[in-house]
C-alpha cells in the first residue's frame, strides 16, 4: 500500500545532530549508467532518447553521435569525477546500473578501492512500473548478484531509474538485505515510513542540484550548476544552525565529467569544504547514523 504523506515533519522538523555538530550532511551521488541505456544493439525496440543534443534520426535507427556521448562518460568522465573526489577526500555514493559496470570491469573495483558506496540503481534502464511484481523482484535480484560480482559488495540502498513502481518499496524491504531506499524527493531529512507493518528508512534524493538539467533544460553554463549548488547549501546551512538538514548533489559521468562542467563541480567542492560544519559523506553512512541515533 502506497499511502501519501502531505504532513511530514511539519513546521518543526526534528532538531537532530550530525557527527561533530555539522549543520548539513551533504551526499554526493554519482550515477554510473553508461552502457545500460536503451540500445538497438542490445535488442531494444528503440534507441536511447536521452540526448545532449536533439537527434535527427528515427527511433529505430542508431544515433552514433548520441552513443558516443554516453561512451565519454565511461571512458573519461568517471575517471575525472573519481579523481576530483579524491582530490577533496570526499566519499560518494555511486548509483550503479549493473550492466554498465559489467561493460567496464575496471570501474567497479575502483569505486570500492577509493572508499565509495555501491548503491543499487537497477540492472539497466528499465521501466519497473511496467513490470509485474515477479519480474521486478527478479530484476532487483539480478542487479544485486551482478554488483556483488563486479564490485565485491552488495548494495545496501536502492533507487529505481525512471521512478519506482507501486511494488518497489515492498520488494526492497522483502529482499531483506537493504538498509534503506532513496525513492523519494519529499524531504530535506531522512524519515521512516511503514511497509507492511515494518518501519522503513527513506533517505530522500533530490533533482534540484542535478547535472541532468544540462541535458533536459534548466542549466546552460557551468556557472548555473555552481550557483544552484551554492544557493542550496547556503539555505540549508543557515537553517541548519538550529535544525540540521541534508543535501543531495546528483552527478552523471557523461555530463559533469566534461571539463568545463567538472570545473563547476570543483568550485562547489572548494566552497563546501571551506565551511565548518558540513559533513560530506556517503548515503549509507547517513542511513546508519539515523538508524543508530534516531531509531
Distance CA 164, CA 161 (A): 7
pLDDT band of 158, cuts 50, 70, 90: very high
pLDDT given at position 67 = 93
Distance CA 49, CA 22 (A): 41
pLDDT given at position 243 = 95
Distance CA 78, CA 84 (A): 10
For the chain, the straight-line distance linking the first and the last C-alpha, in angstroms and rounded, comes to 23
What are the Cα distances from residue 4, in Å, to 69, 127, 165, 224?
Answer: 38, 22, 14, 33
Mean pLDDT lowest for which of 25-39, 48-62, 64-78, 255-269?
Answer: 48-62
pLDDT band of 3, cuts 50, 70, 90: confident
pLDDT (average), residues 252-276:
98
pLDDT band of 73, cuts 50, 70, 90: very high
pLDDT given at position 53 = 87
User: Are residues 81 and 110 in contact, defined by beta-carbon separation less than 8 angstroms?
Assistant: no
Q: Average model confidence (pLDDT) for the chain?
A: 96
What are the Cα distances from residue 38, in Å, to 17, 60, 63, 234, 252?
Answer: 43, 11, 11, 38, 16
C-alpha cell at 4: 501519501
pLDDT (average), residues 243-264:
97
pLDDT band of 258, cuts 50, 70, 90: very high
* 3-state secondary structure at position 279: strand
Query: Over 70: is that where the pLDDT of 168 sits?
Result: yes
Which among 11, 13, 1, 41 has a CA at the least distance from the CA of 204?
Answer: 13
pLDDT band of 88, cuts 50, 70, 90: very high
Question: What is the reported pTM?
Answer: 0.96
pLDDT given at position 1 = 55
pLDDT given at position 111 = 98
Identify the structural domains of the chain with CATH numbers, from first to last.
19-293 (3.20.20.370)
pLDDT (average), residues 188-214:
96
pLDDT tens digits along 10-39: 998 888 999 999 999 999 999 999 999 999
Amino acid at each position: 500500500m502506497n499511502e501519501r504523506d502531505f504532513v511530514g515533519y511539519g513546521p518543526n522538523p526534528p532538531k537532530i545532530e550530525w557527527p561533530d555538530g555539522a549543520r548539513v550532511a551533504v551526499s554526493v551521488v554519482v550515477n554510473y549508467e553508461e552502457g545500460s541505456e536503451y540500445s538497438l544493439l542490445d535488442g531494444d525496440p528503440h534507441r536511447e532518447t536521452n540526448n545532449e543534443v536533439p537527434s535527427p534520426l528515427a527511433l529505430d535507427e542508431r544515433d552514433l553521435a548520441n552513443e558516443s556521448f554516453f561512451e565519454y562518460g565511461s571512458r573519461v568522465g568517471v575517471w575525472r569525477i573519481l579523481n576530483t573526489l579524491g582530490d577533496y577526500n570526499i566519499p560518494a555514493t555511486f548509483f550503479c546500473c549493473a550492466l554498465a559496470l559489467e561493460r567496464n570491469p575496471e570501474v567497479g573495483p575502483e569505486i570500492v578501492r577509493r572508499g565509495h558506496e555501491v548503491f543499487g540503481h537497477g540492472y539497466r534502464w528499465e521501466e519497473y512500473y511496467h513490470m509485474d511484481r515477479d519480474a521486478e523482484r527478479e530484476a532487483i535480484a539480478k542487479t544485486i548478484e551482478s554488483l556483488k560480482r563486479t564490485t565485491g559488495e552488495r548494495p545496501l540502498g536502492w533507487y529505481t531509474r525512471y521512478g519506482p513502481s507501486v511494488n518497489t518499496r515492498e520488494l526492497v524491504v522483502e529482499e531483506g538485505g537493504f538498509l534503506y531506499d532513496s525513492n523519494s524527493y519529499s524531504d530535506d531529512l531522512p524519515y521512516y515510513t511503514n511497509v507492511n507493518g515494518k518501519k522503513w528508512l527513506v533517505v530522500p534524493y533530490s533533482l534540484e542540484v542535478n547535472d541532468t538539467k544540462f541535458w533536459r533544460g534548466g542549466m546552460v553554463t557551468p556557472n548555473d550548476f555552481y550557483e544552484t549548488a551554492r544557493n542550496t547549501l547556503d539555505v540549508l546551512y543557515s537553517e541548519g544552525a538550529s535544525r540540521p538538514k541534508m543535501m543531495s548533489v546528483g552527478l552523471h559521468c557523461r555530463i559533469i565529467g566534461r571539463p568545463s562542467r567538472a570545473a563547476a563541480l570543483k568550485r562547489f567542492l572548494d566552497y563546501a569544504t571551506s565551511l565548518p560544519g558540513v559533513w560530506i559523506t556517503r548515503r549509507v553512512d547517513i542511513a546508519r547514523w539515523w538508524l543508530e541515533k534516531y531509531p
